[in-house]
């Protein structure tokens, strides 16, 4: 999903989850629900956590420091902190390195393209070239 360069990615989580289609090895419909969503602190909003919980998806997202402070200020009424699977979260670096590789392309990093279809084509071309280098 390609959005405007100035658009907050966290606002698009619902649309991204709706577009997930993972084919099965055998017959049957493709999977539409991941086991977990691993994301950085920018996705740690209550709206995103509720959406993931509603769909039965485990959220592996650390809390922002201001959220932790607000919960502690409330004392016993602040509730429990959400759980964080640190081992699963450590795997997030693979995705971050992929983004860093894509941002070596100046046009992708600065978002020169005016049309979303052109930008998306550049992202796909970058991914194909990275995949070919890995063979």
3-state helix, strand, coil in the chain (%, to 5): 55, 5, 40
Give the pLDDT of the chain (135 residues) as one tens digit per residue. 766 666 676 778 888 888 888 888 889 999 888 889 998 888 888 888 999 999 999 999 999 999 889 989 998 888 888 889 999 999 888 888 888 888 888 888 787 777 888 888 888 999 899 889 888
Q: Are the CB atoms for 57 and 48 separated by under 8 Å?
A: no
What pLDDT is recorded for position 45? 85
Q: Are the CB atoms for 16 and 28 separated by under 8 Å?
A: no
Token pair 């670096």 in the structure block, residue: 93
Ordered by start, the domain boundaries in the chain are 9-87
Residue 58 β-bridge partners: 36
What pLDDT is recorded for position 5? 63
Q: What are phi and psi of 130, to 5 degrees?
A: -65, -40
What pLDDT is recorded for position 18? 87
What pLDDT is recorded for position 117? 85
d(CA 102, CA 130): 9
Q: Which two tokens stand for residue 97?
A: 């390195």
């Amino acid at each position: 999903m390609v959005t405007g360069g100035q658009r907050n990615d966290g606002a698009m989580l619902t649309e991204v989850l709706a577009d997930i289609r993972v084919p099965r090895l055998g017959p049957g419909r493709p999977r539409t629900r991941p086991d977990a969503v691993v994301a950085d602190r920018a996705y740690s909003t209550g709206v995103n956590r509720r959406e993931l919980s509603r769909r039965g998806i485990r959220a592996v997202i650390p809390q922002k420091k201001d959220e932790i402070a607000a919960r502690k200020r409330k004392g016993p009424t602040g509730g429990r902190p959400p759980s964080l699977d640190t081992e699963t979260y450590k795997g997030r670096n693979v995705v971050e390195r992929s983004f860093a590789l894509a941002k070596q392309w100046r046009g992708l990093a600065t978002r020169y393209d005016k049309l979303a279809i052109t930008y998306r084509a550049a992202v796909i071309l970058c991914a194909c070239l990275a995949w070919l280098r890995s063979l």
